[in-house]
Amino acid sequence: MFDTLTTRLERLGSSLRSRGRLSDADLDEALAEVRAALLEADVELSVVRSFLEAVRERVAGSSLNQSLTPGQYVIKAVHEQLIEVLGGTTLKITYASRPPTVVLLAGLQGAGKTTAAAKLAQWFKQQGRQPLLVGADLQRPAAVEQLRVLGAQIGVDVVSGSGTPVEVARRGVDEAVRLGRDVVVIDTAGRLAIDEALMREVREISAATAPHYTFLVIDAVTGQDAVATARAFHEALALSGVIATKLDYDARGGAVLSARGVVGRPVVFASTGEKLQDFDLFHPDRMASRILGMGDALSLIEQAERTMDAAVVAESAGRLMSGTFTLDDFLAQLNQVRRMGSLGGLMRLMPGVTKEMRAAAANVDDGELNRVEAIIRSMTPRERRDPSVIDGSRRSRIARGSGTTVNAVNQLLRQFGEMRKMMRQMGNGTAPVMPGGRGRPVPTPRQTGSGAEVPAGFEALAAGMRARGSRGPAKGKKKGGRVTPPKQR
Amino acid sequence: MIAIIAIIVALIVVGALAVVVARRRQHRVPPPLAAPPMPEVLVSEPVPRPVLEDAVAPSLRQRLGSSRGVFDRVRALGTRGALSDDVLDVVEEVLLRSDVGVTTTDAIVAQLRTQGAPEGVATALRDILRGSLDRARDVRDQADEGRVAVWLFVGVNGVGKTTTIGKLATRLTAQGRSVVLAAGDTFRAAAADQLALWGERAGADVVRATEGADPGSVIHDALGRAASRGADILLADTAGRRANSTNLLDELRKVRRVADREPGEVVETFLVLDATTGQNALNQAREFLAAAAVTGIVLTKLDGTARGGIVIAIERELEIPVKFVGVGEGAHDLVPFDPDGFVDSLLEA
């Protein structure tokens, strides 16, 4: 729905380019776009203001680089400033010399505290610790039950009981000492920042358990209220950091920036999905790209590194580029890709992908991939090596064998053929034309930034994706270098 | 199928890239990159507890302090007729701070600019906002003859769907209606337990299944129970789901179809919306409207400091009326939406 800030500034930049340097009026115009983008991302108004001032100083304080358009220049400044604000200070999790290390979670109703508590306990467990969960949310019906179920899933004991939340929390810490656990994660009831009685209660819990870490759990879709909430909880509890939840939503998550700005404490963890393993340390650079709507190539590459079998990928990627890619290779790759997670999730991370592509990927479910796999597995080895031998009767045999239709087989073969041709062209360095009739030649991307080499294929990837009826360029950012896709028109 | 191969090939390229990057990293001596700042884990080091004094950055705090009573400034300006940019700036700030959103705020400010404010800017703004909320808000609770009325509750995670159902059940049973609750959230741990406790409090029958069961089948069973008991109304819970997942929305579509089949009739589909939500609420409303034909919004958690201004944008753009608002923890703190009171509370921000 919204153009990304990057797109808008690039467009702005093209009208400014000839002038060579940014005038105050140009800068005002660019910063107005930045302001709108930050507000659309739900960054709080006062935070936006101080942020814009900082960007203005950053831009004013340095001379224009020849290789960047003014628009790109502002984007760069905004991105750097975002990373600075989001990641300025970091939190080192250290453990108390006299265990247990006590961690207290607090936040509004529905922010995701109970789930975050379980995910955090699991994280500690992965660090080789023996955590204990304490269910001190006695307010919401069945909250403790929810924690027990989650605790059982991750193999972490949960203690709760009767009495006031303060008593339950204190008993939980005692219990951890008795059981010899070295980390205690205390889940508390959701509360509004203006509810004095409940805020007093959480202070009492804090006083009774002397937590080493107190985290505010904040929902990434929160609007302008994030600041008021974060401030109130910080004043009551002296937060050591923030845990951002629901980052799998399509919200830009400006609330995280607001909370970070007000509390002055780092965002430590990020929760990115419903599953218990969707939890990780927070990466400021990724959040910055997200607020700018830039995609997140880095996460994608990391995920690929974690899950893919390097040898298999390297081998068939080479064949892919040289045009000797077979359906067997494709099948092997398909299974590699499936190990990375859902296609929809992966496409969300990929820069330069249009909304339509994203929607298409989100619609591809496991069943559809299973069908593709079934079709290929119903072919003989020779057919897989050389699809051109597949005639009409082979097609109907394959369709029967895979439980699909001849039409589906045809479609797959046609797509595969076109894709192979395109990849061969890419490998040769010719401008590719994507199948489907809507393709257009893609100009060679221009490289900017610190002169770091960009692995071949990345531009091809971005360009190829964009050629499929995309509207605007987007930036892909990766370690050590920056890829600037070509301008449209 | 068209997109699949393109996507997969793209991802293969990503994989290849990862390999290249990994190799290059092996060759390199320590990576000259600014490593993402991660909390390192050290063992047995005493942890200093954070202290309150150095907690809040004072400059920012002061700046934030000025946000309150901003509309008083408009009133103090007391402008009539044509509006100065200063006044419009204040109006813009009020609206943005209430989560009304950039697009809608711009539209309202433009409208204000053209209309002027013959009776003062406060009145003019109130009229525009009130005009945005001008639509029917009656709640249907009767099905056709021989069918069971169903209220279906949808929304993202953590907005208060289950709590809303509990409160509405209490309200309906207090009015002498017989109510059946369907624990259609089979995903979140102990969601059914939570609903069962509400059912107990409200004196409503709860139909539930094991975790991970098909939500459609739970609602189907609940309809059977409601029909055989001659219950007046079925309140159906669903699992919280993000609005950017086609699969999850398809599942919801199916749940709605099941609920609308004989003997059931979905008379209201409520989107439960958290008042603290920002611009994403508009996306939520759009997606849930398309997937589940939402007929009304329940705006929860309005008792906090959040104003819920995004519903102005939702009502203007998607014409989904807000029907109930949650203003407290108690069972009776869920009340019919009052547009006048809502606009007043926005302007007090």
CB A108 within 8 A of CB B301: yes
Residue A15, pLDDT above cutoff 80? no
Instruction: Quote the pLDDT of residue A78.
Output: 86
Tokens coding B286: 């759009």
DSSP state, A265?
Answer: S
Q: What angle do CA B111, A49, A4 make, to 5 degrees?
A: 70
Burial class (CB in 10 A: 0-12, 13-18, 19+), A309: middle
CATH of the domain at A312: 1.10.260.30
In a domain, A54, yes or no: yes
Residue A2, pLDDT above cutoff 50? no
More confident residue, A26 or A271: A271
Q: Give which of A33, A221, A229 to mutate to test B binding, by max B Cβ within 10 Å.
A: A221
Residue A12, pLDDT above cutoff 80? no
Instruction: Quote the pLDDT of residue B51.
Output: 39
User: Among A213-217, A398-402, A425-429, which is the least confidently predicted range?
Assistant: A425-429
The sign of the dihedral angle between the CA atoms of A335, A336, A340, A343 is negative
Instruction: Quote the pLDDT of residue A87.
Output: 78
The full length of chain A comes to: 489
Same domain, A125 and A231: yes
Q: Do A212 and B3 touch (CB under 8 A)?
A: no
In a domain, A268, yes or no: yes
Taking the C-alpha atoms of residue B272 and residue B151, their distance in angstroms, rounded to an integer, is 12
**Contacting residues for A404 by C-beta, under 8 A, at least 6 apart:** A371, A374, A375
More confident residue, B226 or A430: B226
Residue A98, pLDDT above cutoff 70? yes
Tokens coding B6: 């393109």
Instruction: Quote the pLDDT of residue A69.
Output: 64
Residue A450, pLDDT above cutoff 50? no
Burial class (CB in 10 A: 0-12, 13-18, 19+), A109: buried
Q: Highest mean pLDDT range out of A192-196, A280-284, A413-417, B230-234? A: B230-234
- Radius of gyration for chain A, computed over Cα atoms and rounded to the nearest angstrom: 26
DSSP A96-148: -SSSPEEEEEE-STTS-HHHHHHHHHHHHHHTT--EEEEEE--SSTTHHHHHH
CATH of the domain at A54: 1.20.120.140
Q: Is A200 helix (H, G, I), strand (E, B) or coil?
A: helix
Confidence category of residue A153, pLDDT binned at 50, 70, 90: very high
Question: Which range of residues forms the domain containing residue A24?
Answer: 5-87
Residue A198, pLDDT above cutoff 70? yes
Q: Does the N-terminal peptide bond of residue B215 adopt cis geometry, omega within 30 degrees of 0?
A: no
DSSP state, A391?
Answer: -
Instruction: Quote the pLDDT of residue A345.
Output: 66
User: Among A77-86, A94-103, A474-483, which is the least confidently predicted range?
Assistant: A474-483
Residue B128, pLDDT above cutoff 80? yes
Taking residues A357-370, report their average pLDDT. 69
User: Among A36-40, A459-463, B4-8, B15-19, which is the least confidently predicted range?
Assistant: A459-463
Q: Does B174 touch chain A (CB under 8 A)?
A: no
Q: Does the N-terminal peptide bond of residue A100 adopt cis geometry, omega within 30 degrees of 0?
A: yes
Residue B68, pLDDT above cutoff 60? no
Domain end call among A58, A87, A116? A87
Instruction: Quote the pLDDT of residue A467.
Output: 37
Mind listing the pLDDT tens digit for each residue in B175-197? Answer: 999 999 999 999 888 899 999 99
Cβ-Cβ pairs closer than 8 A, A with B, add up to: 350
Residues of chain A in contact with residue B170, where contact means CB-CB under 8 angstroms, are none
In a domain, A356, yes or no: yes
- From the list A108, A252, A362, the residue facing B246 with the nearest CB is A362
In a domain, A274, yes or no: yes
Q: Is A186 helix (H, G, I), strand (E, B) or coil?
A: strand
More confident residue, A459 or A379: A379
Taking the C-alpha atoms of residue A16 and residue A10, their distance in angstroms, rounded to an integer, is 10
User: Among B2-16, B19-33, B235-249, which is the least confidently predicted range?
Assistant: B19-33
Confidence category of residue B206, pLDDT binned at 50, 70, 90: very high
Residues of chain A in contact with residue B200, where contact means CB-CB under 8 angstroms, are none
Residue B6 gets the label, from left (phi > 0), alpha (psi -120 to 50) or beta, of alpha
Same domain, A211 and A120: yes
Residue B57, pLDDT above cutoff 50? no
More confident residue, B48 or B17: B17
Same domain, A83 and A148: no
Same domain, A322 and A436: yes
- From the list B18, B36, B97, the residue facing A308 with the nearest CB is B18
Same domain, A196 and A316: no
In a domain, A272, yes or no: yes
Q: Does B35 touch chain A (CB under 8 A)?
A: no
Instruction: Quote the pLDDT of residue B130.
Output: 94
Same domain, A236 and A280: yes
Same domain, A241 and A388: no
Instruction: Quote the pLDDT of residue A454.
Output: 33
Q: Highest mean pLDDT range out of A299-303, A385-389, B70-74? A: A385-389
Confidence category of residue B211, pLDDT binned at 50, 70, 90: confident
Q: Does B76 touch chain A (CB under 8 A)?
A: no
The continuous run of DSSP H or E covering A354 comes out as none
Instruction: Quote the pLDDT of residue A74.
Output: 79
- Surface of B (182-241) touching A: CB under 8 A: 187-191, 193-194, 196-198, 211
What residue type is B148 in one-letter code? V
**Overall number of domains in chain A:** 3
Same domain, A289 and A414: no
Q: Do A246 and B2 touch (CB under 8 A)?
A: no
**Contacting residues for B167 by C-beta, under 8 A, at least 6 apart:** B198, B326, B331, B332, B333, B334
Residue A267, pLDDT above cutoff 50? yes
Confidence category of residue A479, pLDDT binned at 50, 70, 90: very low
Instruction: Quote the pLDDT of residue B83.
Output: 75
Instruction: Quote the pLDDT of residue B221.
Output: 94
Instruction: Quote the pLDDT of residue A85.
Output: 86
Which chain A residue has its CA at the smallest distance from B3's CA?
A360
More confident residue, B265 or A73: B265
Residues of chain A in contact with residue B24, where contact means CB-CB under 8 angstroms, are 455
In a domain, A299, yes or no: no
Q: Do A261 and B60 touch (CB under 8 A)?
A: yes
Residue indicated by tokens 């017989």: B178
Q: Does B12 touch chain A (CB under 8 A)?
A: yes
Same domain, A9 and A82: yes
User: Among A386-390, B19-23, B164-168, B205-209, which is the least confidently predicted range?
Assistant: B19-23
CA neighbor of A3 nearest in space, from A45, A40, A48, A42: A40
CATH of the domain at A108: 3.40.50.300
Same domain, A143 and A221: yes
Same domain, A226 and A194: yes
Taking the C-alpha atoms of residue A272 and residue A249, their distance in angstroms, rounded to an integer, is 8
Mind listing the pLDDT tens digit for each residue in B290-332? Answer: 999 999 999 999 988 888 999 999 999 999 999 999 988 888 8
Taking residues A230-250, report their average pLDDT. 90
Confidence category of residue A21, pLDDT binned at 50, 70, 90: low
* Domains and their CATH numbers in chain B: 68-132 (1.20.120.140), 148-337 (3.40.50.300)
In a domain, A147, yes or no: yes
Q: Do B11 and A40 touch (CB under 8 A)?
A: no
Residue A469 gets the label, from left (phi > 0), alpha (psi -120 to 50) or beta, of left
CA neighbor of B153 nearest in space, from B260, B65, B268, B29: B268
In a domain, A479, yes or no: no
DSSP A52-68: HHHHHHHHHTSPPPTTS
Instruction: Quote the pLDDT of residue A361.
Output: 66
Instruction: Quote the pLDDT of residue B291.
Output: 93
Domain end call among A87, A115, A136? A87
CA neighbor of B273 nearest in space, from B307, B235, B316: B307
Residue A478, pLDDT above cutoff 90? no
Confidence category of residue B243, pLDDT binned at 50, 70, 90: confident
Taking the C-alpha atoms of residue A219 and residue A255, their distance in angstroms, rounded to an integer, is 8
Domain end call among A64, A87, A110? A87
Per residue, the 3-state secondary structure of chain B, as one string, reads: CHHHHHHHHHHHHHHHHHHHHHHHHHHCCCCCCCCCCCCCCECCCCCCCCCCCCCCCHHHHHHHHCCCCHHHHHHHHCCCECCCHHHHHHHHHHHHHCCCCHHHHHHHHHHHHHHCECCCHHHHHHHHHHHHCCCCCCCCCCCCCCCEEEEEEECCCCCCHHHHHHHHHHHHHHCCCCEEEECCCCCCCCHHHHHHHHHHHHCCEEECCCCCCCHHHHHHHHHHHHHHHCCCEEEECCCCCCCCCHHHHHHHHHHHHHHCCCCEEEEEEEEEEECCECCHHHHHHHHHHHHHCCCEEEEECCCCCCCCCHHHHHHHHHCCCEEEEECCCCCCCEEECCHHHHHHHHHCC
CA neighbor of A478 nearest in space, from A442, A444, A447: A447
User: Among A158-162, A219-223, B34-38, which is the least confidently predicted range?
Assistant: B34-38
Instruction: Quote the pLDDT of residue B123.
Output: 85
Tokens coding A200: 């007093």
Instruction: Quote the pLDDT of residue A308.
Output: 67
Residue B109, pLDDT above cutoff 90? yes
Confidence category of residue B171, pLDDT binned at 50, 70, 90: very high
Residue B337, pLDDT above cutoff 90? yes
Instruction: Quote the pLDDT of residue B62.
Output: 35
Residues of chain A above pLDDT 70, percent: 69
Same domain, A73 and A167: no
Work out the minimum CA distance from A475 to partner chain B, whole angstroms: 15
Taking the C-alpha atoms of residue A54 and residue A48, their distance in angstroms, rounded to an integer, is 10
Q: Does B328 touch chain A (CB under 8 A)?
A: no
Which chain A residue has its CA at the smallest distance from B25's CA?
A479
Which chain B residue has its CA at the smallest distance from A191's CA?
B304
Mind listing the pLDDT tens digit for each residue in A122-140? Answer: 999 999 999 999 999 998 8
What residue type is A59 in one-letter code? V
